[in-house]
Structure 1
Amino acid sequence: MRDQIDILLDAALLHVPFDGWSDEALKAAANDSGMDIATARALFPRGGVDLALAYHRRGDAQMAAKLAAEDISHLRFRDRIAFAVRTRIEAAEDRELVRRGAALFALPPYAPDGARVIWGTADLIWNTLGDSSTDYNWYTKRATLAGVYSSTVLYWLGDDSPNAQATWNFLDRRIDGVMQFERVKGAAEKNPLLRAALAGPKAILSCIKAPARGPQSDLPGHVSPPPTQQG
């Protein structure tokens, strides 16, 4: 089945710039690849949107493979993140395919799908880089990176600078902004007054756990009961 999905997706990429991620692109891809439309619809039940999701996940897989093959241990952690985001964007290659996807996922019926795959990309980057957080930081890291990634993609779509250098400069600025916030948060932790003021919210946040890995890994995290008071 994997081969059939790849064959159909490859055939669709020739039509998406003209037809978008649509049923028309799926039908044309089935015709080009000699596949009957019933089989094509079984592989992509929602037509164009499932094609777009498959294309995005292929880019994720290509990014993960490149990160696994590269030795980036010598880089600062913020540079590893920048490298991962750049690698993911460069995996897309054709901006028109991404532009068509952005237009599709901006539509209300498909916005949840778009948000889900961007979150998945951020999750994959953190997992590939060895993130081991299991508390609320699991969520904040991915939410922050999802924002950095999506804004950088939008910038890249309109970037006509040589080798997209303006995009990579934009990415560095976004990551610098995140790192500056983390430094401010770290300084606040060292301030006794602020630390005391944040004790209550932190106690609540400490109950939030990352989702379990496995068959239900796509479920949201859970709130664990507060520890029993000993007295």
Structure 2
Amino acid sequence: MMHVPFDGWTQVTFDAAVADSGVDATVATAVCPRGAVDLAVHYHRKGDAAMLDRLADADLSEMRFRDRVAAAVRFRLEAVDDKEAVRRGTTLFALPMYAADGAKLIWGTADAIWDALGDTADDVNWYTKRATLSGVYSATVLYWLGDQSEDHAETWAFLDRRIDGVMQIEKLKARVNENPVLGKLMAGPNWLAKQIKPPQKMTRGGMPGSWRT
């Protein structure tokens, strides 16, 4: 990690990490086929794991659900031990060849939050919840990277505003479905939406590649 603020998630950093750790270069390449890019992926997932540990220990029972979501996003950002590493990662995953990786990581964070909070959606709402939270999380990260306020107070206020905006959309959807006329018009689309199912959960290892002895 000491090399990332200076050299970014690059081959220079990866080579330095191999040298510092004493891991055989062949093994390092086996577990990180794309070098520092895969290290960046692992760093992000490590933050997700830290967030989940904190969520498991926290008592959120007295919170409104929207506040639980906000707390989860805050826990995720507070799991970061080096803001510059995230800044460098944001630059890396903004590159066209790695944009899909970045989107997958953000989606994974949103998915982890919803699962940890007990989401039971089994239709199109599974996708819309994660897509919406991915947008909220992405915007909050970008704001957080430039936030110089004490204890990131402005970031948490920004996060609350984004979640309030999402909740307004959910309230509007509920009103539409409860409306005698609009509810009937939406019956067909709502039925179709319920036929869309979430994907099967796949187990994954901690690193992108593999190494067997």
Per the normalisation by structure 1, the TM-score is 0.86
Identity of matched residues, %: 58
| Counterpart amino acid of residue 205 in structure 1 | A
- Residue 171 of structure 1: aligned partner: 159
CA drift of 1:34 comes to 1.7
- Residue 109 of structure 1: aligned partner: 97
2:21 is the alignment partner of 1:38: no
CA distance in 2, matches of 1:133, 1:94: 34
Segment drifting more, 188-197 vs 130-139: 188-197
- Residue 209 of structure 1: aligned partner: 197
| Counterpart amino acid of residue 54 in structure 2 | K
2:4 is the alignment partner of 1:21: no
| Counterpart amino acid of residue 188 in structure 1 | V
CA drift of 1:196 comes to 1.7
Q: How far does the alpha carbon of each residue in 1:127-162 deviate from its partner, in whole angstroms, 9 at most, with x for none?
A: 000001101110010000011001000000000011
Q: How far does the alpha carbon of each residue in 1:177-212 deviate from its partner, in whole angstroms, 9 at most, with x for none?
A: 011111111111111111122122222212201112
- Secondary structure at the counterpart of residue 75 of structure 1: coil
- Secondary structure at the counterpart of residue 39 of structure 1: helix
CA drift of 1:169 comes to 0.2
Alignment partner for residue 70 of structure 2, among 56, 78, 82? 82
Structure 2 residue runs of 5 or longer lacking an equivalent are 205-213
CA distance in 1, matches of 2:100, 2:176: 35
Q: How far does the alpha carbon of each residue in 1:81-121 deviate from its partner, in whole angstroms, 9 at most, with x for none?
A: 00000000111131110000000000011001000010000
2:114 is the alignment partner of 1:123: no
- Residue 224 of structure 1: aligned partner: none
2:181 is the alignment partner of 1:158: no
| Counterpart amino acid of residue 135 in structure 2 | G
Alignment partner for residue 196 of structure 1, among 174, 184, 193? 184
- Secondary structure at the counterpart of residue 79 of structure 2: helix
- Residue 211 of structure 2: aligned partner: none
Per the normalisation by structure 2, the TM-score is 0.93
Structure 1 residue runs of 5 or longer lacking an equivalent are 1-12, 217-231
| Counterpart amino acid of residue 154 in structure 1 | L
Alignment partner for residue 132 of structure 2, among 133, 136, 144? 144
- Residue 58 of structure 1: aligned partner: 46
Greater length-normalized contact order (CA 8 Å, ≥ 6 residues apart):
2
| Counterpart amino acid of residue 68 in structure 1 | A
CA distance in 2, matches of 1:58, 1:141: 23
- Secondary structure at the counterpart of residue 92 of structure 1: coil
| Counterpart amino acid of residue 58 in structure 1 | K
- Residue 187 of structure 1: aligned partner: 175
CA distance in 1, matches of 2:199, 2:65: 24
CA drift of 1:215 comes to 5.4
Q: Which 4+ residue blocks in structure 1 deviate beyond 4 angstroms?
A: none
- Secondary structure at the counterpart of residue 56 of structure 1: helix
